Chain A
Amino acid sequence: MNNPGFNIELKNLSVGYELPGGGPLEILKSINFSASPGEMVALIGSNGIGKSTLLRTLVGFQNYFSGSIQLNGKELRTIGSREIAWVMSFVSTENIRVANMTVFDLVAYGRFPYTNWIGRLTSDDRQKVADAIKKVGLTGFENRQTIQLSDGERQRAMIARALAQDTPVIILDEPTAFLDVSNKYEIFHLLQVLSKEKGKTVILSTHDLNIALREVDKLWIVTEEGNFQGAPEDAVLNGWLNQLFKNENIGFDLKEGEYFFKKKFREKVKVEGEGLSLIWTLRALNRLGYQIVMKAEPDFKVTAGEKSWTFQKGNATEKFNSIYELLMFLEK
């Protein structure tokens, strides 16, 4: 069942909910997105814009009002629920905590659309489950209870379950929420490898923009002003990342490729020094809202040495052994 991958096309799509009165509540409209086999796509947008709704519609959990979703040219709503399960697997944000369920049991759920009426696993199914567990790096965890897993391990087990389902398309709703930085990178990397090695189409929503910008092949951006799709770098150059948030205090640093929080600047400071010590001293002062100046007349001066920091204002000087001590002094 290793299908060569599926093209997904969203044409002029409009998604939302049925209101109790019967009328539609459109959340997102005129969406034109596409994804190809071997591509990893990140859906980004601010909270509440409708990312989850779009993903839920994409996996067939809810109806769409107008436009079309096509899988290899076939309209989604004409495909039966079992066939969809052969094409798309889904990882949600739901935290699964079932007593007496081992990692193997959980991953074996991926074989569900292929097993007989009582769900008996064939040796082929077992092999696929074992392969999926190995792929996500959970070998040795097969008999571990799922309720004893850490968040990162559980997320990997859920991805293994999607892998065992052996679908050309994998859709994940915020797979890196609740994870620490190294786990976030590992999950992104794992998904990247899957999309490239097996030609799977991977679509995920995320708020980890800094990682997404470095790891994914394509961004789908939804904002209130409009939608964009393209390479992350195109999104940056076209200014879409600045538009993502309505908050004026959030800016996107085009050089660093990172978001920052705009602050009202306080005193001016001139910093001297070299190497890493200089970079991180600048960052610390920036964090506290001091304005770094090069040529203008500063209010005070800081010299960053290898293991010591000197503060100088007029005739007064102070020496510190760490950035923390320096900052404590400045904040007094």
Chain B
Amino acid sequence: MNQKRDNKTLPVRSIFFLLSLLFLVLLVADLLLGSVIVPLKHIFISVFPTAETNETFRTIILDFRLPKAITAILTGAALSVSGLQMQTVFRNPLAGPFVLGISAGASLGVALFVLGFSSVVAFGVVSVSGAWPLAIVAWIGSFLVMLLVLYVSTRVNDIMTILILGILFTSAVSAIVSILQYFSSESMLKAFIIWTMGSLGSVTNAQLSVMAPAILLGILLALFKIKDLNAFLLGENYARSLGVKIISSRIVIFLSTSLLAGTITAFCGPIGFIGIAVPHICRVIFKTSDHLVLVPAVILTGGIVMLFSDIVSQLPGMQTTLPINSVTAIIGIPVIMWMIIKNKKFVSVS
């Protein structure tokens, strides 16, 4: 639990301060860098227009880079918080935001829409840039899975059963998606594959106005459950004997995770690695198991990691971008491997 002794409080605060600085630096860098390098002063005068404001830069910053940076931050924060919740509730260091089958549900929605429905009805290529339809079907998919998970979690007492059901469900869905891929046309297949690669840039300001409140609500729910999350570290038996209402607490946590992971998957595609890795990175940095520290820590660190991934993926100075999903994996996996080997005992959750 939160142990406020002077020798421990000070490092935690200073780590938060350093991370915040890093966060701001990366945010500015993310706005500056890209196919066109925007001079530093134009960032500020674009946000707060003056006579000097250059309209091109202003459009680049406000309509493209700022939404993308905000999307990156929200994505990092949301996936990290839901990953932390799942690792704690399942007491399993390999759990991530998608263990409940949330992203599988979203994939199924998108696959049915892009590969199934569109091929059958044949009303032409689904526009991948206009992401609203994709986001909506993905959201519906993950929402349905969430209802299923919540129903199961009120009926099943053993948390491990839920974990196994989630894994089985994910496998079943990927089998269905494979069948759909097998029977679909090349162009449809490409549209679907591109969706699975993930994208931060396709989120428009209008979509952001839906996405941001959903993410904030999910994070708010997580903050309300900080105390219960701490209790779950000792396992459900001890949590119960400490007075935690297991089922209702579990429902709120699952709701939060579904909202966070489902929304991100709907708008940006299934982005891997972040949700599993960031909580581990924070446990190593902060050396604590207290969620009062860990939840804010993963929000900040998740934002940092995604901003960095975004900067790398847009290959500063070049006209093309890399799929964000590959970038998070390539830069992240070596980091997490190194941490696991170096700090075995601090990485394990339980």
Contact = CB atoms under 8 A, between A and B. Distances in A.
Question: Do A and B share a complex?
Answer: yes
Contacts of B245: 81
A85 B348 CA distance: 29
Given A98-B349, A117-B227, A147-B345, A61 B240 contact: yes
Among B1, B227, B235, residue most surrounded by chain A Cβ atoms (within 10 Å): B1
Interface string B286-301: 1111101000000000
Contacts of B243: 81-82, 84-86, 112-113
Contact of A121 (B2, B235, B242): B2
Given A98-B350, A112-B242, A120 B289 contact: no
A21 to B, nearest CB: 15
B231 interface: yes
Contacts of A60: 240
Given A98-B289, A100-B287, A100-B288, A119 B346 contact: no
Contact of B289 (A61, A92, A99, A121): A99
A102 interface: yes
B346 A100 contact: yes
Nearest to B7: A143
Given A85-B243, A109-B242, A101 B233 contact: yes
Given A82-B243, A119-B226, A101 B289 contact: yes
Contacts of B347: 99
A127 interface: no
Nearest to B88: A98
Interface in B252-303: 283, 286-290, 292
Nearest to A116: B227
A304 B324 CA distance: 83
A98 B233 contact: yes
Interface residues on A, range: 35 or more
Contacts of A115: 227
A31 interface: no
A100 B87 CA distance: 15
Given A109-B1, A118-B226, A118-B227, A59 B241 contact: yes
Contacts of B290: 105
Contacts of A101: 233, 289
B345 A89 contact: no
Contacts of A252: none
B234 interface: yes
Interface in B46-66: none
Nearest to A148: B345
B244 interface: yes
A100 B283 contact: yes
Contacts, number: 97
Contacts of A147: 345
A104 interface: yes
Interface in A36-67: 59-61
A76 to B, nearest CB: 13
Contacts of B4: 121
Contacts of A159: none
A102 to B, nearest CB: 7
Contact of A96 (B235, B241, B346): B235
Given A61-B240, A85-B241, A112 B231 contact: yes
Contact of B244 (A81, A86, A97): A81
B2 A119 contact: yes
Contacts of A100: 283, 286-289, 346
A287 B2 CA distance: 54
B237 A61 contact: yes
Nearest to B344: A99
A297 interface: no
Contacts of A97: 348, 350
B289 A117 contact: no
A119 B289 contact: no
Contacts of A165: 242
B224 interface: yes
Contact of B241 (A89, A102, A118): A89
Given A119-B230, A119-B292, 5 more contacts: A81-B244, A99-B348, A100-B283, A104-B3, A112-B243
7 contacts: A94-B235, A96-B238, A102-B3, A112-B243, A113-B242, A117-B224, A117-B227
User: A-B pairs with the 6 shortest C-beta distances?
Assistant: A85-B243, A90-B241, A82-B243, A112-B242, A119-B227, A108-B1
Interface of B: 1-4, 224, 226-227, 230-231, 233-235, 237-238, 240-245, 283, 286-290, 292, 345-350
Interface of A: 59-61, 81-82, 84-86, 88-90, 92, 94, 96-102, 104-105, 108-109, 111-113, 115, 117-121, 145, 147, 165
